[in-house]
Structure 1
Amino acid sequence: AGAPAKPGPPVADVSSGLYSALSIMALLYARDTGRRAGGGGVAVSLFDTMMDVMGYQLTYTQHSGIDQQPLGMSSPAVAPYGSYGTADGQTVVLGTTNDREWQRLAREILRRNDLADDERFATNAQRVRNRAVLDEAIGAWCARHDLAEIQKSADDAGIGNSRYNVPSEVVAHPHLAARNRWREVQTERGPIQALLPPAVIDGFESPMGPVPALGQHTDAVLTEFGVAPADLESLRERGVIGTPR
């Protein structure tokens, strides 16, 4: 709390690219179906995209005047919800989203009927105000059990849970191998493994061509935009574009 945190992935860049692609597809569809004349223009701001992605947090502050503080893996909106260390040195993420789930977590996982019956935790708003007490109880229970036992108990009780993975563990995640998500791609320095795009489309295999060398496609792209071969040489002589490798 009190320290700014930056997400690992470039959320603004990726989200703005997706918004742009969706907008272009919508315009092409409108053109091809006669719903709109011309191609139209699309402008997508990184700032505007992030305002949309903020969603709940922005709306909450707009109507409450309260700036919610960062809580690590926890959620400012619900409790209990967070990450907890396990007896075998792992980290498990457990969370509830409503009163029924809280009752199951307290009674069926923690075996703490006293917590389930405690008026301090009767509603989500009360649990949020007393989250430190619940985090301490859940953390103590998790510290006495291995990850596999915790996840089985949570699954049996219908409580959302996950093992916390660092990037190196995500790269080796068995789910990616089981679903055949990796493809070999050629580069100048030899083959590498790259992930397929997220969408799985019946009857279509995403092209996973070699990574182009620096400047390899410059001439082809500029020619497609109408630049004459003589002008390409002029641009190259003036150092505007480089020589393809």
Structure 2
Amino acid sequence: FDATAEWLGHPMYMKMYADRQIPRVGLGHAAIVPYDAYPTLDGNILIGVQNDRGWRQLVTEVFARPELADHPRYATNMLRVQHREEVDALVAEETKKFTRAALDQALADAGIPAAELNDMSGLIDHPQLKERDRWRQVGSEVGQISAVLPPMTFADVEMRMGDIPALGEHTDHVLGELGCSAADIAAMRKAGVVG
């Protein structure tokens, strides 16, 4: 979870600080159907039927539609992949009858891999980030902001979370470390090479 939160840092911070939700590019699987995000009464849920047994469990135990288990167009994964649009539409019609929490529980009870699907607000508000004490305050040009702790967790040391430097804040220091004199840096500034 921590690694995923870190991996989603860019879109998460875009949502937090620019109120911009970066659009998704898809969750489907090229060789498994159904395997995608499906609508519920109050959000979306990711379902990943892994094999034909999983399909049978989905349509009989969760959807109470046993006639679909051996349907000639859906009985095998190969057939379901060939009829992806039909299967996805059929699954979506069934999932829309559930709340996300109820469907998540029904899928878990049936042993079908699934996960609640959150947008960036769902990640920001996810209870695991708070419960696992992943948020830190860091300084920035606009004051203190919240940032997620890097995912590497050790019992005896916490990963460094320094302030976000202002644009150009360390330019003189870095150029000095590279051997530039104060006169060189001033000349570069005058010429517009550095700001």
Q: TM-score range by the shorter chain?
A: 0.7 to 0.9
The one of 99, 107, 129 equivalent to 1:154 is 107
User: RCO (CA 8 Å, sep 6+): is it higher in 1 or 2?
Assistant: 2
Q: How does 1:133-144 map to 2 (within 5 A)?
A: 133-144=86-97
- For 2:37, the aligned partner's letter is S
* Structure 1 segments unaligned to the other structure (5+ residues): 1-7, 11-70
- For 2:58, the aligned partner's letter is L
The one of 63, 74, 77 equivalent to 2:31 is 77
Partner of 1:203: 156
Change (3 A) 1:144 1:220: same
- For 1:76, the aligned partner's letter is A
Equivalent pair of 2:68/2:75 in contact (CA under 8 Å): no
- For 2:87, the aligned partner's letter is L
Query: 1:205 offset after TM fit, Å?
Result: 1.2
Q: How does 1:163-174 map to 2 (within 5 A)?
A: 163-174=116-127
> CA separation in 2, counterparts of 1:169 and 1:123?
35
> CA separation in 2, counterparts of 1:174 and 1:234?
52
Q: What do residues 133-191 of structure 1 show as CA deviations (whole Å, max 9, x unaligned)?
A: 32233222222221111000011122122222222222222221122111100112110
**Pairs aligned (count):** 174
Change (3 A) 1:132 1:234: closer
RMSD of aligned Cα (Å)? 2.3
- For 1:78, the aligned partner's letter is I
Classify the secondary structure of the residue corresponding to 2:152.
coil
- For 2:145, the aligned partner's letter is I
> CA separation in 2, counterparts of 1:175 and 1:202?
18
Query: Percent identity at matched positions?
Result: 39
Q: TM-score, normalised by structure 2?
A: 0.78
Task: Find runs of 4+ consecutive structure 1 residues off by over 3 angstroms.
Answer: none
* Structure 2 segments unaligned to the other structure (5+ residues): 1-7, 11-24
The one of 95, 101, 111 equivalent to 2:48 is 95
- For 1:221, the aligned partner's letter is V
Query: 1:202 offset after TM fit, Å?
Result: 4.3
The one of 82, 85, 105 equivalent to 1:129 is 82
